[in-house]
Structure 1
């Protein structure tokens, strides 16, 4: 299968997940992610605002804001395919960009050196490589990002990936069931 075929297949799986089961799994992912963040003492987190078919990040975002952890969300520049992470203080600040994607207020402070970056995607392999949506925004951003990375996913999203030379892996995967230190797996395989 090609990356395009794998994307389509996973999008179909995610679209057809039972709504109640998806909600329960999302709550478990949020709790596991919050515990992970708290245990490691991260003070700032970069996280995408929720998209319809993925894990709903609002549960975690609300918890982080409530606990005083700084939250930053991406605003994309579609011309040069770059992105910057702007401070998010509440749901009231959320807008839609020209592609109807939810974004924080672009006037808010930028911080591209957050302690932990939550990287979205569709399919993740056991060593942290992922298949995203094909835009390349996160792969570009990750080339200069040196702090920890994590992906918050349903266990259904772990599967076969195709790794291209420009792809960059995440350090951790968190599902509704467990946390995977995939960076250690890569180091042990070298």
Structure 2
């Protein structure tokens, strides 16, 4: 099955999911994340502000702020398909960007370099047990994750997002260290 087909199947399953079940599963995944060592030992957490089909991150950002952790969020550079991370201190430092994304306003935030990040929460749509993911098609995270990494990587997923079968991987695809679902923490590397 193609990546496009995997994306379509998972999107359809997520749209049909019962809202109460989504709420319960979201809470269970977040609790597993907050209890995990990678969260506990991290002081700078990088993640996106979730939109659309992405696993919700607003409560994760708020929890990080409550625990005194620093939050870094990416600003995409479409011309090069790169990301630059900026520290936000409050959610109103985000601004609408292309494709309906919410990204940090560089005029209000200071830049964060790769070595300052302790934990990167990597978005996606479909995951396998080896840590490979099918994202939303831009390749931004695969480019950022290629090469040297001084930080842990985690993806958060609903049960429907964990693929039962292998999906196509390409040489540039990058794995995450952990996939966290409501049922388990999958150590991938």
| Equivalent residue for 1:176, pick from 168, 174, 182 | 182
Q: Where does 1:75-154 land on structure 2 (aligned, <5 Å)? A: 75-107=75-107, 108-111=109-112, 112-113=114-115, 114-146=117-149, 147-154=151-158
Structure 1 residue runs of 4 or more that deviate by more than 4 Å after TM superposition? 37-40
In structure 2, distance between residues paired with 1:132 and 1:73: 17
The count of corresponding residues between Structure 1 and Structure 2 is 183
What is the TM-score of this pair, normalised by structure 1?
0.90
CA distance in 2: counterparts of 1:84 and 1:131, whole angstroms: 21
Contact 1:154 1:175 in 2 (8 A): yes
8 Å CA contact retained: 1:11, 1:53: yes
RMSD over aligned CA atoms reads: 1.5
Q: Which residue of 2 aligns with 1:188?
A: none
State the Cα deviation string for residues 38-83 of structure 1 (Å, max 9, x = none). 6641111111101122221111110001110111111101111000
Q: Name the TM-score, length of structure 2 as normaliser.
A: 0.90
Unpaired segments ≥5 residues, structure 1 = 184-190
Range 19-28 or range 56-65, more displaced: 19-28
CA distance in 1, matches of 2:39, 2:155: 17
How far is 1:14 from its partner? 1.6
Q: What is residue 187 of structure 1 aligned with on the other side?
A: none
User: Do the aligned residues in 1 keep the contact of 2:38 with 2:152 (CA within 8 Å)?
Assistant: no
Structure 2: unaligned runs, 5 residues or longer = none
Q: Would the aligned equivalents of 1:14 and 1:54 in 2 still touch at CA under 8 Å?
A: no
